[in-house]
Each structure stands twice: as C-alpha cells, then as structure tokens.
Amino acid sequence: MINLTAVYVLWLREMKRYFRAKSRILGSLAIPFFFLAFLGLGFNRMAVPGVAGSLNYIRYLVPGIVGMSLLFQSVFAGLSVLWDREFGFLKEIMVAPVSRVSIVLGRIAGGMTTALVQGLLVLAVSFLVGFRIASVPGILLALLFMVLVSTSFIGLGLIFASRIKDMQGYSIIMNFVVFPLFSCPGPSTRSATSLPGSGSFRTSTR
C-alpha cells in the first residue's frame, strides 16, 4: 500500500527544489528575524504579565517565532500542491502507479523536512539576539514538537489544498486558520512557549 520509493522520490524532489531556491530560504528567514530583532530587543526590558520576572523576553519569544515559521512553512507545503496543479506537474504525479497514500506521505515528509530546516535556521538566527538553549534533552523534545506541529499543519494544508482549486482562495482560507492561531497571545504563544528547550515551561495562567 505504501510505496517507500515514491515517498522518497517526492521527498527528494522537495529537497532539491528547496535548496535550489536560495531566495525562498533567505526570504522566509527575514520575517522571523525582524520579529526577533524588533520585538525581542524592544520588549526585552518590559515585564510581560504572567511571565515570571526572572524570565528573559527573548527566551519567551523565540519558541513562538520558531512555531510561527513552522506554521508558515507548513502552509507553504499545501500551496505547493496548488503550484503543481498550476504548472501541470500534479498530473504527472497523479497518473503514476503509486497509492495516493504514498503521495500524501511524500508531500508530508518533504514539507516537514523543509519546515524543520527552516525552524532550525530561525533558532540559529535567534542566537544572534542572545537566545540560549537550556538543555540537550530539552532541545530534543523541542525537535519532536516541531515535527508534530509541522506534520499536523501540513496535513491540514493538504486537506484544504486538495479541496480548493485556486491559490487565492487557499491563501485566504489558510490565513483565516493560521492568523488567529499565531496572533492570539494566549493560546498560541502558550502552545509555542510550551515547546521545551527554551527553559520557559511556565506560561501565562491568567
């Protein structure tokens, strides 16, 4: 049922495309970087309600920004299905004699890897503004959560992308799903800051 070669080749294609599009990598790093630089350094001195006084704001912010870039990268994985439809390549995939499950898994694997790479790049950038990792088990656990977050949002993206045929419609609907998620300070930063490894296990309880 699951054709591993097909999963692998779809994943490989995504990797080649990702690492060839340098502008895409740099471009998608720009927004997290500005968030970190402006919000992070700007609010660094401020006491955030619900955050323990001892907690550095950068430490509070970075996991959220990582989560945000995972989210956007995952939405992008759904969008790439629509791009493939637009450029005809989707047909090439759909006529291949492999199970549809393998195709979805290949997409998820590819999207998840790029999201993970992106998340790690953001993490690397955050070192520039003074973020530090608390512990090794913590970062491993964080990686696990990054995998889970990106996988579930790619899944969601793929569901929408297989139903919605036009890109604008997809973007609007995904914005509708994603934007509240990342802008509501309560639930989103709570889930994002619960990413261990940042040292901020305690979050706002209100």
206: number of Cβ within 10 Å: 7
Among 66, 93, 115, 192, binds another protein (CB under 8 A): 93
Distance from C-alpha of 27 to C-alpha of 167, rounded to nearest angstrom: 20
Phi, psi of 47 (to 5 degrees): -85, 120
> Tokens 């907690």 — which residue?
55
Residue 96 in the binding site for another protein (CB under 8 A):
yes
We find the least distance from the C-beta atom of residue 177 to another protein, in angstroms, to be: 26
Among 29, 31, 39, 89, binds another protein (CB under 8 A): 89
We find the least distance from the C-beta atom of residue 85 to another protein, in angstroms, to be: 10
The residue range among 86-94, 151-159, 164-172, 185-193 that interacts with another protein, by the rule CB under 8 A, is 86-94
Q: Find out whether 69 and 28 touch, Cβ atoms under 8 Å.
A: yes
Distance from C-alpha of 119 to C-alpha of 70, rounded to nearest angstrom: 6
The site map against another protein for 16-55 (x = CB under 8 A) is xx--xx----------------------------------
| Contacting another protein within 3-22 (CB under 8 A) | 3, 5-6, 8-9, 12-13, 16-17, 20-21
Distance from C-alpha of 30 to C-alpha of 85, rounded to nearest angstrom: 28
Distance from C-alpha of 168 to C-alpha of 31, rounded to nearest angstrom: 21
Binding site for another protein (CB under 8 A): 3, 5-6, 8-9, 12-13, 16-17, 20-21, 87-89, 91-99
